[in-house]
Structure 1
Amino acid sequence: MNANDGKVRQVLQRSHELDHEHYAVGVELQPYKLTGVVVGADGAVIARTRRHLTVMESAEVVQRVAEMAGRLMDDRLGCAFPRDRVCVGVQVGGPVDPDTGTVLHLVNGPDDHRHEKPPPYEWVDVPLGAELAFKMGCATSVENDAHAFAAYEQSLGVGSTSATFGVVLVRDGVGAGMVVRGERVFVPMEFGHLQVWQRGRICDCGMRGCIESQVGNRALTAVVKELTGRELDGLEAAIALADSTDPQARQAASAFRKAGTSIARGIATLLTTFGPTHVVIYAAEDLISGGPGRRAANSFLDAMRKFPAHTFHISRDCHIVTKPLDAVRGAHGAALIALQSCFGVRLRPR
């Protein structure tokens, strides 16, 4: 067999694979930015991209998601690849109805601590899945971001060693997803709005003492500002103050300690309810990378790891795993959910 014969066989083999495989485009939708991946039926990422958004109006976002997903499909699979063998999965940081592909509520929270506020936006009952399907001519799925990270962990993370585990996602707010006995829990989990402080701060949702009243980029920045009276431009500035030699550093660190206790009480609820053997915490790297001089992270982690003090004493052991936020993992999880919900492709943990 000469070299040309080998090339022909490779082309024919690839053509055969394309004729029989399904693919998914996964998209992570965050405020003013998109991350997209193409995933094969084996669950591996074969292409990725990122794009910034100038506005968050829903019709414009749908158009930009469709353009990015279409470009990924054309570049990786070819313009002629049948759209009925490609699905699109999108995950968003808010409550959704995965059965209908509807975003129930998506809003940018109050950002009084920022010098430059982004334009306000609010989505209510936006049929994101249906609108994308109409524009793209392929099957779609829509899921909450914490559930997408749970799907990623199920196939490519702690799911290889644990059949029952939780994922807690700390971003502007706080979300959670659960896998119980190898099956994702599909019901909405408003983890961030568990009330863990009897006389706590008022949460953005209007209730008092929620986890999100103390935890998340917005809440942590606001609490440090309240404790110190400092003007702070986001979480990085709050962490920097807590880690510094400033006289108010310890006051700032106390906000991170209370944030860790809030998460610990939330983990205790998951442990008492579901009995997970692992809980994976995704958060900004500066918040979960402890060590010398890292007063903010050390305060947060030390308090969070005291979760056994808040749970039923007969509860099973639970291991806490911390991982830095990664938009590609979120998009990857959205693609894995789409493969399962649209094509019935279930990946075994590895």
Structure 2
Amino acid sequence: MNVNDGKVRQVLRRSYELDHGHYAVGVELQPYKLTGVVVGSDGVVIARTRRHLTVMESAEVVQRVAEMAGRLMDDRLGCAFPRERVCVGVQVGGPVDPDTGTVLHLVNGPDDHRHEKPPPYEWVDVPLGAELAFKMGCATSVENDAHAFAAYEQSLGVGSGSATFGVVLVRDGVGAGMVVRGERISVPMEFGHLQVWQRGRICDCGMRGCIESQVGNRALTAVVKELTGRELDGLEAAIALADSNDPQARQAAAAFRKAGTSIARGIATLLTTFGPSHVVIYAAEDLISGGPGRRAANSFLHAMRRFPAHTFHISRDCHIVTKPLDAVRGAHGAALIALQSCFGVRLRHR
């Protein structure tokens, strides 16, 4: 088959998809920003976009998601494309009920360590899926962000070689998703609130010693500030201090070492409970890219990879994979979940 034959087949396949296939718009909802993609029933992203939000009030966010999704549909599929062949999947950084499409709780942190704090917001039992379906006239699904990344990995990542694996997502807080024997576990999984320190810091949730009391953009910045007494403008500043020649650099690095140990103890719990062969860690690139002069990342990674010391010896055969955060992958995973839950489209690993 020559190159032209391949192009012709690709055009014919896409034409068939437009006539008979299903599509999903996947949306990653993060504080004050949206990322959207259009995915065909073959799982391939065919369009993407991003936009900022000025407010996080739920009704306004629903309106903005509907506008972005509608524009993606119209631009890529055409204004006349039947909405009954399109679904919308949204993922959010908090616990959800995927059966009803309800966001159970979504809140920004009490202190994001920036000079100009965005306005506070809190969602409780918001029927995001139903409201979005009413506005758009198409099927919808709502999932937690870590579960969306797990769906992405299942179809396009470590799922090629593992039927049971975990995904840990380190953002402002920490979340996790699991695929067990080829089935994604779609239940609220508060990995960040596993208690791994008997006399640890008080977490934002009010408990003491949670993983999230030490790990995540908010917690790591706060811990470095507590150890050094420095005013820090977010995680990047905390990493820069740990990587510098400043006299307090090693104190700052200690925070990243304890964060790595916190994740290691969480991984040990996943291993004891589910026995995954792989755990994928998604985090800021500066946190997982070790090397010369990268004291923060080296401290975090070294401590995290000592997870076997915290688990039952039979459960220690697990591979840790690190990947930088990518909003498009999160939106892609949300689209894959929507294709399966709304249309029964289940992709094989590509």
Question: Residues 79 and 249 from structure 1, CA distance in 2 versus in 1: closer, same or farther, beyond 3 angstroms?
Answer: same
RMSD: 2.5
Please tell me whether the aligned partners of residues 27 and 36 of structure 2 are also in contact (alpha carbons under 8 angstroms).
yes
Q: Distance in 1 between matches of 2:138 and 2:300?
A: 44
5+ residue gaps, structure 1? none
Shift of 1:115: 1.1
Please tell me whether the aligned partners of residues 277 and 316 of structure 1 are also in contact (alpha carbons under 8 angstroms).
no
Q: Distance in 2 between matches of 1:145 and 1:229?
A: 33
Deviations 1:318-346 (A, max 9, x none): 00000000000000000000000000000
Question: Residues 273 and 11 from structure 1, CA distance in 2 versus in 1: closer, same or farther, beyond 3 angstroms?
Answer: closer
Question: Residues 8 and 215 from structure 1, CA distance in 2 versus in 1: closer, same or farther, beyond 3 angstroms?
Answer: closer
Shift of 1:113: 2.3
Question: Residues 324 and 3 from structure 1, CA distance in 2 versus in 1: closer, same or farther, beyond 3 angstroms?
Answer: closer
Question: Residues 12 and 300 from structure 1, CA distance in 2 versus in 1: closer, same or farther, beyond 3 angstroms?
Answer: closer
User: Structure 2 length as normaliser, TM-score?
Assistant: 0.96
Q: Which moved more, 1:291-300 or 1:312-321?
A: 312-321
Name the SS for the 1:178 alignment partner.
strand
Shift of 1:4: 16
Q: Distance in 1 between matches of 2:163 and 2:39?
A: 23
Q: Distance in 1 between matches of 2:192 and 2:10?
A: 50
Please tell me whether the aligned partners of residues 165 and 180 of structure 1 are also in contact (alpha carbons under 8 angstroms).
yes
Q: Which moved more, 1:296-305 or 1:180-189?
A: 180-189
Q: Distance in 2 between matches of 1:280 and 1:79?
A: 39
Deviations 1:146-189 (A, max 9, x none): 00000000000000000000000000000000000000011211
Deviations 1:112-164 (A, max 9, x none): 52211110000010000000000000000000000000000000000000000
Question: Residues 347 and 12 from structure 1, CA distance in 2 versus in 1: closer, same or farther, beyond 3 angstroms?
Answer: closer
Number of equivalences? 350
Name the SS for the 1:314 alignment partner.
helix
Question: Residues 254 and 10 from structure 1, CA distance in 2 versus in 1: closer, same or farther, beyond 3 angstroms?
Answer: closer
Shift of 1:315: 1.3
Please tell me whether the aligned partners of residues 113 and 221 of structure 1 are also in contact (alpha carbons under 8 angstroms).
yes
Deviations 1:192-211 (A, max 9, x none): 00000000000000000000
Question: Residues 144 and 8 from structure 1, CA distance in 2 versus in 1: closer, same or farther, beyond 3 angstroms?
Answer: closer
Please tell me whether the aligned partners of residues 339 and 345 of structure 1 are also in contact (alpha carbons under 8 angstroms).
yes
Show the counterpart of 2:244: 244
Question: Residues 11 and 334 from structure 1, CA distance in 2 versus in 1: closer, same or farther, beyond 3 angstroms?
Answer: closer
User: Structure 1 length as normaliser, TM-score?
Assistant: 0.96
Deviations 1:281-325 (A, max 9, x none): 000000000000000000000000000000001115100000000
Q: Which moved more, 1:133-142 or 1:5-14?
A: 5-14
Q: Which runs of 4+ in 1 moved over 6 A?
A: 1-13
Please tell me whether the aligned partners of residues 112 and 234 of structure 2 are also in contact (alpha carbons under 8 angstroms).
no
Shift of 1:17: 2.8
Please tell me whether the aligned partners of residues 95 and 105 of structure 1 are also in contact (alpha carbons under 8 angstroms).
yes
Question: Residues 263 and 5 from structure 1, CA distance in 2 versus in 1: closer, same or farther, beyond 3 angstroms?
Answer: closer
